Structure 1
Amino acid sequence: MRKTIVGLAAALLAAAGSTLMAAPAQAAPLTPVPQLDVNRYVGDWYQLAANPAPYNIDCVRDTTANYTLIDERNVRVENSCTTIAGERRGIVGNARVNDTAQLHVAFPGVPFQDSLDGPSNYIVAHLAEDYSWALVGDPSRISGFVLSRSPVVDVAGWQEIRAVVESQGYNSCLMLTSPTTEGLQEIKPLCTV
């Protein structure tokens, strides 16, 4: 329990800093991958790391996303996690495809994200050739998520993830790991993995 509280304290400090320093001031907007096959992208994803945000600060383990195709422009989004109290919580929303690898994600009742139409706030900035992992975020890099088809990543995989995160203009020391039951067990800055 003490490790979890210390991890959350670190996450809160990083969250406060990430809103001010998520990306270098001169960084261009996040660029999408040239092509995204939505049919291959849907399915289950594990969150391996993320920029802390108020809506996910109580998520301490096994954060997942499930994407299901509704039609050619809409994807059902179901995010869930285990909280500090050990309970599963989740939210269901919609992702509307605006352009290749750029979507507008909306969740009912979430301020500034409750409209189905809007500017792209979910950009697939990196996607492994085999669709095994992805880096997604918003144009300004305030949000950023490392998603993987597997909850377990080896040392070489973490090195690749960190290199890609940094090459896409993110500060890897402000992005925190997301523990999974089968994989990494600690919340810590990605730059230390």
Structure 2
Amino acid sequence: MVAAGVATAAPVSAQPTDSPGPWQPLAPVPSLDIARYVGTWHQLAAIPQPFNVNCARDTRAVYELIDASNISVNNTCTTWSGETMGVTGNARVTDPVTNAQLRVSFPSVPTQGSPDGPTNYVVTYIADDYSWALVGDPARASGFVLSRTPAVSDAQWQQIRGVVESRGYDSCLLLTSPTTGGRDDITPLCTV
């Protein structure tokens, strides 16, 4: 994450190039180091999805390497009633050239049980230090801002918004996710 006093300019990889239209598939990063990508990620913002409507705060994903093509996925959150809810699944690399396109499946969720199928998880941005990422599906029906820490600076929020928009998303569709130690509100990213 960006520490206080660090320059606020976005890294070169985050700068908008030719802003893709929403009709073009979400592009993956040129190369993803899976070994660096695994670990714990906090959801800072997302396009609301039916499967996480019960999540009130502290939505996290823990990824662990199984083998060169498979990653275990353990998603958890705190519900509106204060309970912990979770689901476990698998992420399979579908693009071995970039390693940045995967098929995420959850055996306990109807229609999401098969690890074989089309790509539904694209890492479209990763910070140089792997401190935060933007992921979504090829059609941009989903979008998630993930961070290694539950809080980021105001300057980092501006960088995140710029990256989200440069990848063809409407930043007003992503809502901030409350995290302990971070933001406590749910608000459109375009207003942050």
TM-score normalized with structure 2 length = 0.86
Deviations 1:50-79 (A, max 9, x none): 000110011111000000000111000000
Distance 1:181 1:27, change over 3 A: same
Question: Match for residue 153 of structure 2?
Answer: 154
Taking CA–CA contacts closer than 8 Å with sequence separation of 6 or more, which of the two structures ends up with the larger relative contact order? 2
1:48 aligns with 2:44: yes
Instruction: Specify every segment of 5 or more residues in structure 1 that has no aligned partner in the other structure, as ranges.
Output: 1-23
Distance 1:25 1:165, change over 3 A: closer
Deviations 1:109-129 (A, max 9, x none): 323311011111000000000
SS at match of 1:114: coil
> Which has the larger helix fraction?
1
Question: Match for residue 171 of structure 1?
Answer: 170
1:59 aligns with 2:55: yes
1:36 counterpart (29, 32, 38) = 32
Deviations 1:136-189 (A, max 9, x none): 000000010000001111100000000000110111111100010100000111
Instruction: Specify every segment of 5 or more residues in structure 2 that has no aligned partner in the other structure, as ranges.
Output: 1-19
Structure 1 residue runs of 4 or more that deviate by more than 4 Å after TM superposition: none
Alpha-carbon shift at residue 26 of structure 1 (Å) = 5.1
Alpha-carbon separation, structure 2, partners of 1:135 and 1:160: 12
Matches within 5 A, 1:28-177: 28-99=24-95, 100=98, 101-177=100-176
TM-score normalized with structure 1 length = 0.86
Alpha-carbon separation, structure 1, partners of 2:142 and 2:22: 17
| Aligned amino acid, residue 115 of structure 2 | L
| Aligned amino acid, residue 77 of structure 1 | V
Distance 1:26 1:104, change over 3 A: closer
SS at match of 1:104: strand
Alignment length, in residue pairs? 170
Alpha-carbon separation, structure 2, partners of 1:114 and 1:41: 23
Q: Determine what percentage of the aligned residue pairs are the same residue.
A: 64
Question: Match for residue 187 of structure 2?
Answer: 188
